Each structure stands twice: as structure tokens, then as C-alpha cells.
């Protein structure tokens, strides 16, 4: 096991030691556009939280290459079991800002009906499983889906995302062990961003690298420069092809950095130095890929501003649409568990409605979701 990292684009945007993967001009531009759109969404999302318009936000700033580059290696029918720090995967799969913002606002058009925390998206129509807050739970879910596909002989791969902290969870062990033994068509993507909230990597694992953990489960572990989108894509494509060919799972360690705080509830200046932030600021995956594209004649510097403006106006329209929607109806609380309400649920609904009508429950009229 080596601690060396796969790299295609050096930090200054020049070619590095590994050959670039074969991607067309259109594909390269799609990846870059998605990375930039993700960065803009994050910046706006965080501001919405600071303005008190949404309750919570969690940024993926600095990790765009890691999650978008790896998801780009999948086919649309493959399943994704993502973490909360991967919004670009949804954009890549065609989910709109508006659909995402309805979820962040928890409004009547939110497909999670205000039951999930903001940014905990769930889009079955693009094979993206619901994001769970408890760390590591998506890992076993992905292994289960991969096994189901194998039993049904569907040529489907499940890709799951988690952080460095996630490798210390019970579910990481359970999922990796099972997938190793049964050669499940699963790709494990660890985005090692150096931190689990305020806990640095060496505070939660004594392993030399995250990739080294693969060896114990009998699968390859590949360490990749996670701020180099082409290296990420290259490694992910190999792992996906391997899984689809029935050769079993792979663990990818994408070495990256969380450029923002853990979430809107965190102040990272309390545990990270300015020097550290500056050092990693110079490794920004977006700037690096842009330099590579410009050098190769795939992108022009001037195109950035044009794209940023169009993304921002799309975002603005999506925010306005999300703010126009009311909350989900109170009765929706009783939907989606049983096909028909049971007698007990019917009783509870009656009691709740009466309490609202009598004003003994605070919040306003029936229909408003009480937060």
C-alpha cells in the first residue's frame, strides 16, 4: 500500500505524472460547468441561512472535484448513496436548483415534505438515495443495493460517499466486510477532507491512509488527489468498470480539503489556522481545472463570468419560486407510512386538528407546519 496519490493535473494546472483520461471537449466542459454551478449554489445557500431564510446549510466548497469527478464515471441507471456534502451529483444528474431549494425551504413542493433537514436531499427519479444524517448509514444501504443488483443480474453499480470520519463508523466495517466477501458491485468513495467537524484525521484513526483500510477487507484501495477532477474521474471509472465486470468492490480515498466550516452551525476559525486555509486555498479544485481547460483550449477565461451570471440568475429564480410556496399541509404528516390511515392515526389527526381549531396548539392555522 502506497501513500502516493494519483494525479493528472498538477497544482498549477499543468499535466502531471498520469495521463489524462479520454473525455470529449463537451464532457470536460460539462464537468467544469457542474463544478462552478455547485460552488455558486453553496455560496448562495450559505447566505440564505445567514439571512434567516432557511434553517441550515452545509457547503461542499473545495470538494467539487471529488464528488463530481467520481459520479461522472457512473451510468444514469447506477445508484448513488451520497453524503450531505455532494450536491453536485444531483446537478450532474439533472436535478434543478428549484427542486433542491424547495427541499431546503421544506415547503409544499419539497419532495421530503419538510421532514428532512435542509440539504438532506432524496431524488429517487435519478437513483439518488435519501441522504441520512447519522454518519455511515448510507454505506450499508449501498452494499445492500449492490447485492440486490447482483442477485437480479442487473449490470448496476452502487457508489457510496462518506468522509474520513465515516471510516470510523460501524457501518463502514460492516459494509466493507460484506462487499469484500460477496464481491458486491460497489464503489466506496471516501472524501478525506482532513476533518470530522473539529476533529482532525489523526484524532479519529491511527491508519496511515484511508485507502490502507481496503487491504483488510480484500479489495483495492486507491489514493487519489481529490482536488484533481481528472485523476478522480480516472480512478472512479476504473473502479466502476471493475465492479460492473463482476470483479468486486474498490475503496477510493480522495484527498481533499473542506474549504468552509463544517456547516452553518460551525465556526471553524476556532480550530483551523489562517495559514492552513491559505495553503489549501491555493489548491482550489475549480481554479485548477479551469487552468487546465484554458491551457488545452477547452475553455476561455471570459466564459467564466458569462456562466456565473447565468447560474446566478437561475438561482435567483429558483429562490423566488421556493419562497412563493407555502408549507406542506399539516395532514401530510400522516401520509406515506400506510396506504390507508389506521384508526389510531385517524384519531391522532382528529385530535391535532381540533387542537389547532381551538388554538391550544401554537403556530397558526391548519396547514401551517409548526416548527
Ligand X SMILES: Cc1ncc(C[n+]2csc(CCOP(=O)(O)OP(=O)(O)O)c2C)c(N)n1
Residues assigned a catalytic role: 258, 262, 271
Pattern 132-171, binding to ligand X, x per CB under 6 A?
Answer: -xxx--------------------------xxxxx-----
87 is an interface residue for ligand X by CB under 6 A: no
Task: Give the shortest CB-284-to-ligand X separation in angstroms.
Answer: 17
Residue 297 contacts which entry, Mg ion, ligand X, none (Cβ below 5-8 A, type-dependent): none
Closer residue to ligand X (CB): 257 or 298: 257
Task: Give the shortest CB-163-to-ligand X separation in angstroms.
Answer: 2
Residue entry with cell 480539503 = 257
Rounded-to-integer distance, Cα 236 and Cα 240, Å: 6
Closest-CA residue to 144 (of 175, 168, 122, 180): 175
User: In angstroms, how far is CA 305 from the centroid of its own chain?
Assistant: 25
Task: Give the shortest CB-192-to-ligand X separation in angstroms.
Answer: 8
Contact (Cβ atoms closer than 8 angstroms) between residue 40 and residue 49: no
Interface with ligand X in residues 15-74 (CB under 6 A): none
Rounded-to-integer distance, Cα 248 and Cα 370, Å: 47
Sole binder of ligand X in the list 107, 193, 250, 264 (CB under 6 A): 193
Closer residue to ligand X (CB): 61 or 258: 258
Beta bridge partners of 253: 190, 223
Closer residue to ligand X (CB): 64 or 238: 64
Interface with ligand X in residues 195-214 (CB under 6 A): 195-197
H helix or E strand, kind and range, residue 196: strand 195-196
- How many residues touch ligand X under the rule CB under 6 A: the total is 16
Interface with ligand X in residues 269-288 (CB under 6 A): none
Instruction: Give the residue ranges of DSSP H helices in 267-302.
Output: 274-281, 285-295
Residue 135 contacts which entry, ligand X, Mg ion, none (Cβ below 5-8 A, type-dependent): ligand X
Tell me the CB-side half-sphere exposure of residue 115, using CA atoms within 13 A. Answer: 16
Contact (Cβ atoms closer than 8 angstroms) between residue 117 and residue 140: no
Sign of the four-CA dihedral 285, 286, 288, 292: positive
Residue 39 contacts which entry, ligand X, Mg ion, none (Cβ below 5-8 A, type-dependent): none
| Contact residues for Mg ion, defined by CB under 5 A | 163-164, 193, 195-196
Residue entry with cell 421530503 = 112
Rounded-to-integer distance, Cα 257 and Cα 60, Å: 10
- List the grid coordinates of 40: 455558486
Task: Give the shortest CB-24-to-ligand X separation in angstroms.
Answer: 31
Task: Give the shortest CB-168-to-ligand X separation in angstroms.
Answer: 8
**Binding residues vs ligand X (CB under 6 A):** 83, 85, 133-135, 162-166, 193, 195-197, 258, 262
Amino acid at each position: 500500500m502506497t501513500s502516493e496519490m494519483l494525479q493528472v493535473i498538477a497544482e498549477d494546472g499543468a499535466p502531471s505524472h498520469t495521463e489524462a483520461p479520454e473525455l470529449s471537449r463537451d464532457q470536460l466542459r460539462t464537468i467544469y460547468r457542474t463544478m462552478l454551478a455547485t460552488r455558486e449554489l453553496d455560496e448562495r445557500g450559505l447566505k440564505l441561512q445567514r439571512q434567516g431564510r432557511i434553517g441550515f446549510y452545509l457547503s461542499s466548497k473545495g470538494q467539487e472535484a471529488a464528488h463530481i469527478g467520481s459520479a461522472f464515471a457512473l451510468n444514469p441507471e447506477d445508484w448513488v448513496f451520497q453524503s450531505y456534502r455532494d450536491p453536485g451529483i444531483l446537478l450532474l444528474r439533472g436535478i434543478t436548483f428549484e427542486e433542491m431549494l424547495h427541499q431546503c425551504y421544506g415547503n409544499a413542493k419539497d419532495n421530503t415534505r419538510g421532514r428532512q433537514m435542509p440539504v438532506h436531499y432524496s431524488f429517487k427519479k435519478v437513483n439518488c438515495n435519501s441522504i441520512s444524517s447519522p454518519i455511515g448509514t448510507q454505506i450499508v444501504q449501498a452494499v445492500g443495493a449492490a447485492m440486490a443488483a447482483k442477485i437480479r443480474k442487473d449490470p448496476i453499480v452502487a457508489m457510496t460517499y462518506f468522509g474520513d470520519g465515516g471510516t470510523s463508523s460501524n457501518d463502514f466495517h460492516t459494509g466493507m466486510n460484506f462487499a469484500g466477501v460477496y464481491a458486491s458491485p460497489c464503489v466506496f468513495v471516501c472524501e478525506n477532507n482532513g476533518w470530522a467537524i473539529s476533529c482532525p484525521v489523526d484524532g479519529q484513526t491511527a491508519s496511515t491512509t484511508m485507502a490502507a483500510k481496503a487491504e483488510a477487507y480484500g479489495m483495492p484501495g486507491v489514493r487519489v488527489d481529490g482536488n484533481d477532477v481528472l485523476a478522480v474521474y480516472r480512478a472512479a471509472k476504473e473502479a466502476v468498470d471493475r465492479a460492473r465486470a463482476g470483479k468486486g468492490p474498490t475503496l477510493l480515498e480522495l484527498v481533499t480539503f473542506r474549504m468552509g466550516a463544517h456547516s452553518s452551525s460551525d465556526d471553524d476559525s476556532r480550530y483551523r489556522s489562517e495559514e492552513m486555509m491559505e495553503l489549501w486555498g491555493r489548491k482550489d479544485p475549480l481554479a485548477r481545472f479551469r487552468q487546465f481547460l484554458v491551457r488545452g483550449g477547452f475553455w476561455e477565461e471570459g466564459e467564466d463570468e458569462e456562466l456565473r451570471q447565468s447560474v446566478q440568475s437561475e438561482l435567483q429564480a429558483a429562490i423566488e419560486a421556493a419562497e412563493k410556496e407555502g408549507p406542506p399541509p399539516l395532514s401530510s404528516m400522516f401520509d406515506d407510512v400506510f396506504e390507508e390511515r389506521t384508526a389510531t392515526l385517524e384519531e391522532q389527526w382528529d385530535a391535532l386538528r381540533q387542537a389547532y381549531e381551538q388554538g391550544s396548539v401554537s403556530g397558526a392555522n391548519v396547514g401551517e407546519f409548526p416548527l
